[in-house]
Amino acid sequence: MTLFSAISLTSYLPTRLHPAGLKLTLSQQKKPKIGSQSLLKPRFGQLKTTLTILIATSISLLCEPVGALQVQVKPENPRLGDTLSVVIETNTVGIEPTVSMEQKTYPSFAVGPNRYRALLPTTPLDQPRSLQLRVSGDGEVKNISVALQNRSFATQRIWLSESASQPATELELSRVREFKKLITPQKFWNGKFVKPSSGRVSTVFGVRRYYNGVFANNYYHRGVDYAAGTGSPVVAPAAGRVALVGRVSEGFRVHGNTVGMDHGQGVTSIFLHLNTIEVKPGDFVQAGQRIGTVGSTGASTGPHLHWGLYVHGVSVDPVPWRFQGLN
Ligand SMILES: [Zn+2]
């Protein structure tokens, strides 16, 4: 930084200069002195000017306030489906910075003294590209580029007869949509998420599909499936408040018996196709606490648990949350 400034200032010396510096050079040239030093004088004058400017520049650089916003983005090399964690340190107490990424603005929440964190979702539908993040806070704006890396997802080929797929009801769609909008300032989870079922993973996150031979552009498996026997326990992967309970009997035709859990700060979990539900809206549950049992209700071909993890309403890969943790 200092070196770069020094180089560019020196190269501008003859033409574009600090007015004071220019005056100095001229005055040196006005009164040439006789003697052995006379030839050196103008050059010395110029050097003095350069030094004056360099010192002035250095002082101004030193006096400039250190950027009030310190920003760190994790993971360093995010891939499609990863959750970006943007940690912001500010000098101002009590004003939460915001992070904008391509037209969307995400809130941040306090995670320590003068320390805030925003979570930004990415999905398998995104294009790998340079994401432009704009962090605003402390009366300052900081622009950051994050390279979103490509990732390949497995594909499934599904053949459906016309009558096999029935649409979701307006009731289940609207209730699930409202649930995913939740942004509670408190952070209920702590550390890594635990497995919500003891079953083996039968379908991973992000799998893409061909329906009757046609690639479904907007489809990706928005969660993880665990194959487990009907009636086997489903536990909360992290602490949270039960914010949605929906049953087939009231119109959850596709989702089946459903539990939605609010982990706070825009992070939510949804559990589908349950056999039984053992919690009610408003209940606060701890990580590992039983919430119901595995079933095959709704649009399901066999007993399994579908666990979807959402960040600001967007389905993200739960794997980093399970194995690294986003604290
Ligand atoms: Zn699933």
Cβ atoms 244, 258 nearer than 8 A: yes
In this predicted structure, what is the pLDDT of residue 163?
Answer: 60
From the CA of 272, how far away is ligand 1's center (Å)?
8
From the CA of 202, how far away is ligand 1's center (Å)?
9
Q: How many CA atoms lie within 13 A of 130 on its CB side?
A: 5
Q: 140: which 2 tokens?
A: 């300052």
Q: What are phi and psi of 55, to 5 degrees?
A: -65, -45
Q: What is the pLDDT of residues 270-324, one digit of tens each?
A: 999 999 999 999 999 999 999 999 999 999 989 999 999 999 999 999 999 999 9
From the CA of 232, how far away is ligand 1's center (Å)?
17
- Which amino acid, one-letter code, is at 237? P
Q: 138: which 2 tokens?
A: 């402390």
Spell out the domain ranges in the chain.
2-63, 70-147, 155-323
Cβ atoms 76, 97 nearer than 8 A: no
Round to whole Å and give the CA distance between 221 and 212: 17
From the CA of 295, how far away is ligand 1's center (Å)?
12
Q: What are phi and psi of 8, to 5 degrees?
A: -70, -35
Instruction: With both helix axes pointing from N to C terminus, report the angle between 2-12 and 40-63 in degrees, rounded to the nearest 10.
Output: 140
From the CA of 120, how far away is ligand 1's center (Å)?
22
From the CA of 265, how far away is ligand 1's center (Å)?
24
In this predicted structure, what is the pLDDT of residue 221?
Answer: 97
In the predicted model, residues of the chain with pLDDT beneath 50 are: 1-42, 57, 59-64
Round to whole Å and give the CA distance between 86 and 80: 16
The neighbourhood of ligand 1, an ion, using CB within 5 A, equals 225, 306
In terms of phi and psi (left: phi > 0; alpha: psi -120 to 50; beta: otherwise), the region of 298 is: left
In this predicted structure, what is the pLDDT of residue 47?
Answer: 56
Architecture category of domain 70-147 in CATH: Sandwich (2.60)
Architecture category of domain 155-323 in CATH: Distorted Sandwich (2.70)
Count of CB atoms situated within 10 Å of the CB of 111: 14
In this predicted structure, what is the pLDDT of residue 67?
Answer: 63
